[in-house]
Amino acid sequence: MSVARACTFSELEQDSPLRVELEGVPICIVKDSAGEVHAIGDTCTHGNISLSEGFVEDDTVECWAHGSRFSLRTGAPLNLPAYEPVPVYAVTIDGDDVLIDPNVTKEI
């Protein structure tokens, strides 16, 4: 539908994922160690596990359940057992606001 305020930049802790829901869409937001903010679908494609409960390393997040690691840039799983990507959302920083449109995924 439209871009919405997902959270504030200042509430994001480095390498600590934040789960939000926008229009019913679960999204995992991560500020990586370089200070770049990423937004991907929060549900692991291998199971109904929240990726925001996982572990961030560089520009990836690892699902805690079975260890699949997803790129925060492309949404692609980098190892099994997951083999389907998660969606990636464009992030806009406007002042302290982190803006995301949950209906528009980035073309990778």
Q: Which of 47, 57, 93, 103 binds ligand FES (CB under 6 A)?
A: 47
Give the C-alpha separation, 89 to 78, whole Å: 18
For position 44 contacting ligand FES by CB under 6 A, the verdict is yes
| Cis before 102? omega within 30 | no
Q: Based on CB atoms, which residue is closest to ligand FES, 44 or 91?
A: 44
Quick count: other Cβ atoms within 10 Å of Cβ 17?
Answer: 22
Question: Is residue 28 involved in binding ligand FES (CB under 6 A)?
Answer: no
Residue 76 binding ligand FES, by CB under 6 A: no
Amino acid sitting at position 79: N
Report residue 30 as tokens.
Answer: 């991560």
Classify strands 37-41 and 69-71 as parallel, antiparallel or unpaired.
unpaired
Q: Does 82 bind ligand FES (CB under 6 A)?
A: yes
Candidate list 66, 74, 99, 105; residue touching ligand FES; CB under 6 A = 66
Q: Which positions touch ligand FES (CB under 6 A)?
A: 44, 46-47, 49, 63, 65-66, 68, 81-82
